[in-house]
Amino acid sequence: MAKLSKGARASLPKSSFAVPGKAPGSGSYPVPDASHCRAAKGLAGMHHASNSVKAAINSKCKGK
């Protein structure tokens, strides 16, 4: 996965997050590319995220 610094994460548009209402804060899952999609899916499963958060990640990651 490509490194995403704190500054780069903060500068991402809210549309680059699976949960834009929390962006760029904790639990918002940045998904600007395919490697971050895979990481978000893994982290959501590991952190027992709600089904709606998992669905949001899957929706944002379609085609990546």
Instruction: Tell me the residue type at 57.
Output: I
How would DSSP label each residue in 30-53? Answer: B-SSHHHHHHHHHHHHHTT--HHH
Residue 46: count of CB within 10 angstroms of its CB: 8
- The domains of the chain are located at 30-64
Is residue 58 over pLDDT 90? yes
Give the pLDDT of residue 1. Answer: 66
Is residue 41 over pLDDT 90? yes
Condensed to tens digits (0 to 9), the pLDDT of residues 6-39 reads: 899 999 999 999 998 888 888 889 999 999 999 9
Give the pLDDT of residue 27. Answer: 81
Instruction: Tell me the residue type at 27.
Output: G
Query: pLDDT confidence of 64, banded at 50, 70, 90?
Result: confident
